[in-house]
Structure 1
Amino acid sequence: MGSNTTAEAKQKYAGYKADHVGSFLRPQRLKNARKAVTLGELGLEALRKIEDDEILNLVAQQKAHGVHAITDGELRRAWWHFDFMENLLGVEGFDEQKGYQFNGVETKPHQVRITGQIDFNPEHPHLADYKFLHDAVGQNDKHIAKMTIPSPNMFLHRKIRFSSDIYANDLDRYVTDLGQAYKKAIQAFYDLGCRYLQLDDVYWAFLVSQQRVDEEKEFGESTQTLAAACVKSLNLALADKPDDLVIAMHICRGNFVSAWIYEGGYDGIEDYIFKNLNNIDRYFLEYDNHRSGGFEPLAKLKDTTAEVVLGLVTSKVETLESESEIIERIHAAAEYLPLSQLALSPQCGFSSTEEGNSVAEEAQWKKIDLIHDIVAEVWGTEG
């Protein structure tokens, strides 16, 4: 495991200890506009203008709350992943009969399927979305525009990878095309000025969920084979990346209206994610409750340049964490990985889908402020 990112780039673009995963609660004005579009009462051009306005407001709010890595909150998206995935070549989105079953709640019935050879779309709409954010943030020593996209591994879910016979169960060719498509995507964002890119990956959590492991076995699949495929897709995507581009990977256990879908510690995948992946600079790891396991696997990153952003503050409930308890947990993690390689963030975004978590907007910003207060106490920095 190693990274080609220069120390100068890491310090310039991600040299802070307070971070966040990416999505923020959708403003009511934006929710109303989306509904109006669905009802045929508002056009897409008018919706785009409302999105622009709300993103500019969000950028200003993030700056006011001391956020360094600024996102567009994923305000233009209905889903954290499908909006990107279905705009690749060889992929389409569709509404199926049943949504994803989370703990006590079901999502809207949307999905993607393979329709041809997978490749990057040079007209992908997220490129224009990033350019708007980049220009809105401005380039200075205090702020950086961070882009978030789903990991190529999201295509490894069985329902998607078997949605067509185009790849004829050829997992190696499938993963290779995914990796190459994402390599083009990463370069395209870089060419627009992106220097901090985050890959969001729920599939790793799928592979540590015993229920899902058992399901794959029923279909004759080895989770070891699938984990190796995950490594290959990411390493292909990140091969020869620019050395002044910081790459983060967020491993999530599901985040939909404050519900979750997977549980399991990092023990079963620690070698794959910490030893076999290349060019990952920051790992955003959920650690807000017992479902994420212990800190012991972090020891695998000793003597590397990688950092772990501890997701100790939950985005799922409004209750504000105890500052002293979070500090205690940070020091517990530091028993396995030096404090200099640790940072702090919420465990996930506040609105992975347009519905958002069951959290008030005021509580969202209190969580962000708490993180900065803790960082000042533990690391002696503003963020």
Structure 2
Amino acid sequence: MPARMTPPFRADHVGSLLRPPELLRARDDFADGRISAERLRSAEDEAIRAVVKMQEDVGLQSATDGEFRRASWHMDYIYRLGGIDPAPEKLKVHFRSESGDLEFMSAALRVHDRVRLDETIFADDFRALRGFVSTNTPKLTIPSPSMVHYRGGPASIDRAVYPDTEEFWRDLSAAYAEEVRRLGELGCTYLQFDDTSLAYLNDPAQRAEIAARGDDAEHMHLRYIKQINAALAGRPEGMTITTHMCRGNFRSSWAAEGGYDFVAEALFGELGVDGFFLEYDDARSGGFEPLRFVPKGKMVVLGLVTTKRGELESKDALKRRIEEASNYVDGDQLCLSPQCGFSSTVEGNALTYDEQVAKLRLIVETAHEVWG
């Protein structure tokens, strides 16, 4: 099979990477007032320059900034949308892991004004990344518009601002569409919408929570697909847009489980992205059967390599799983990646830097042997 010169690539990765200790110290120093914002930015630049080189050295064709300037994969972006602020309340998300349960606490959000794009979010971050790469395609990751709603639900939207919820959805998609357009002007050719909601909704327990807060849990994925498509309607020519879906990734733990069956037909058949990064590292993600709905021309990036622990997967086992997936979607439409980021929040997952690099190198080597 031919190598891919456009994203997603045969060997790819989701986005976030483990923050180095010196960057974590710099963040703490800035939070405590010991260093300036300029000193923190310089520390971030140094760490990102090194991690971009690592991605190029292991043989990847894309490179991200590891999300090193963020505290979390989504809220740093969402709070910069006009009309959205952190709320006084705390959002509690229950996570599970092989070693026990834990809870992720974050400020909730409130939509207090018309949603709009006041600035090109992550513009400076992308410009810096573009300057650091030498051979790789710079990839930017942002949370899907679905995450603005999924995190807060109807209660987070001020009814005095949006008496008609359809206006909220129109404004939200319009803000995202403008962000996509501006990123294209900056030269972004590889953009990823990260969307846990479309994976969470496969879990009956998650749908029960959504229904309990007053949403239509049985059709929520259709609403999200519609709004993402509206955000992508005027995307720039030459920009590849993918989406990544997982069931939670916080300090090597997860929040939901279940195969893609509930959303698969609409998701794969209707969502207007070029490729799907799918979590498939263990039984929680179900089987490959839902991939039968993936149409020709769409890419599927199989997240077979876990980021939740350091043990290295067997190359032969990865090849067998790729072959199994090819029973449901053409093998030429498949790629390989980790199942999620290595550090969706600043804390990171329970593995070392060297284990992270070994997993990325394994992905590159396996993809080369499978696809050439």
Scaled by the length of structure 2, the TM-score of the pair is 0.94
In the alignment, which residue of structure 1 is the partner of 2:355?
Answer: 363
1:176 to 148, 170, 175: 170
Q: Is the 8 A contact 2:304 2:339 kept in 1?
A: yes
2:336 paired with 1:349: no
**Partner SS state of residue 99, structure 1:** strand
Distance, in Å, in 2 between the alignment partners of 1:45 and 1:156 is: 33
In the alignment, which residue of structure 2 is the partner of 1:4?
Answer: none
1:297 to 290, 302, 314: 290
Cα offset for 1:94? 4.7
**Partner SS state of residue 108, structure 1:** strand
Question: Aligned in 2, Cα 1:160/1:79: closer, same or farther, shift over 3 Å?
Answer: farther
Distance, in Å, in 2 between the alignment partners of 1:318 and 1:35 is: 26
In the alignment, which residue of structure 2 is the partner of 1:313?
Answer: 305
2:113 to 116, 122, 130: 116
Tell me which amino acid in the other structure corresponds to 1:301. Answer: V
Deviation string 1:141-180 (CA, Å, 9 cap, x unpaired) is x411000000000012262542122454633222211111
Comparing 44-53 and 210-219, the one that deviates more = 210-219
**Partner SS state of residue 107, structure 1:** strand
Q: Is the 8 A contact 1:113 1:160 kept in 2?
A: no
Tell me which amino acid in the other structure corresponds to 1:312. Answer: L
In the alignment, which residue of structure 2 is the partner of 1:58?
Answer: 51
Distance, in Å, in 2 between the alignment partners of 1:169 and 1:374 is: 53
Cα offset for 1:242? 1.9
Distance, in Å, in 1 between the alignment partners of 2:145 and 2:58 is: 32
Question: Aligned in 2, Cα 1:232/1:98: closer, same or farther, shift over 3 Å?
Answer: closer
Deviation string 1:3-25 (CA, Å, 9 cap, x unpaired) is xxxxxxx9543163000000100
2:232 paired with 1:238: yes
**Partner SS state of residue 365, structure 1:** helix
Q: For structure 1, which runs of at least 5 residues remain unmatched after alignment?
A: 1-9
Deviation string 1:322-362 (CA, Å, 9 cap, x unpaired) is 11111111000000011100000000000000000001000
In the alignment, which residue of structure 2 is the partner of 1:5?
Answer: none
Distance, in Å, in 2 between the alignment partners of 1:254 and 1:137 is: 29
In the alignment, which residue of structure 2 is the partner of 1:76?
Answer: 69
Question: Aligned in 2, Cα 1:98/1:183: closer, same or farther, shift over 3 Å?
Answer: closer
In the alignment, which residue of structure 1 is the partner of 2:200?
Answer: 206
2:154 paired with 1:143: no
Count the aligned residue pairs: 365
Identity %: 39
Mapping 1:79-90, distance limit 5 Å: 79-90=72-83
Distance, in Å, in 1 between the alignment partners of 2:334 and 2:172 is: 31
Cα offset for 1:300? 1.0
Distance, in Å, in 2 between the alignment partners of 1:301 and 1:63 is: 30
Tell me which amino acid in the other structure corresponds to 1:243. Answer: E
Question: Aligned in 2, Cα 1:93/1:297: closer, same or farther, shift over 3 Å?
Answer: same
2:130 paired with 1:134: yes
2:250 paired with 1:253: no
Question: Aligned in 2, Cα 1:356/1:169: closer, same or farther, shift over 3 Å?
Answer: farther
Q: Is the 8 A contact 2:84 2:113 kept in 1?
A: yes
**Partner SS state of residue 253, structure 1:** coil
Distance, in Å, in 1 between the alignment partners of 2:8 and 2:265 is: 26
Comparing 359-368 and 239-248, the one that deviates more = 239-248
In the alignment, which residue of structure 1 is the partner of 2:210?
Answer: 216
Q: Is the 8 A contact 2:15 2:64 kept in 1?
A: yes
Q: Is the 8 A contact 2:8 2:335 kept in 1?
A: no
**Partner SS state of residue 208, structure 1:** coil
Q: Is the 8 A contact 2:8 2:275 kept in 1?
A: no
Q: Is the 8 A contact 1:116 1:166 kept in 2?
A: no
Distance, in Å, in 1 between the alignment partners of 2:90 and 2:265 is: 37
Cα offset for 1:221? 2.6
2:155 to 151, 162, 174: 162
Comparing 56-65 and 308-317, the one that deviates more = 56-65
Distance, in Å, in 2 between the alignment partners of 1:53 and 1:123 is: 23
Q: Is the 8 A contact 2:26 2:40 kept in 1?
A: yes
Q: For structure 2, which runs of at least 5 residues remain unmatched after alignment?
A: none
Q: Is the 8 A contact 1:17 1:375 kept in 2?
A: yes
Distance, in Å, in 1 between the alignment partners of 2:8 and 2:243 is: 16
**Partner SS state of residue 52, structure 2:** helix
Tell me which amino acid in the other structure corresponds to 1:183. Answer: A
Scaled by the length of structure 1, the TM-score of the pair is 0.91
Mapping 1:316-327, distance limit 5 Å: 316-327=308-319
Cα offset for 1:223? 2.0
In the alignment, which residue of structure 2 is the partner of 1:262?
Answer: 256
2:27 to 27, 34, 47: 34
Distance, in Å, in 2 between the alignment partners of 1:16 and 1:268 is: 27
Tell me which amino acid in the other structure corresponds to 2:93. Answer: Y
Distance, in Å, in 2 between the alignment partners of 1:157 and 1:336 is: 30
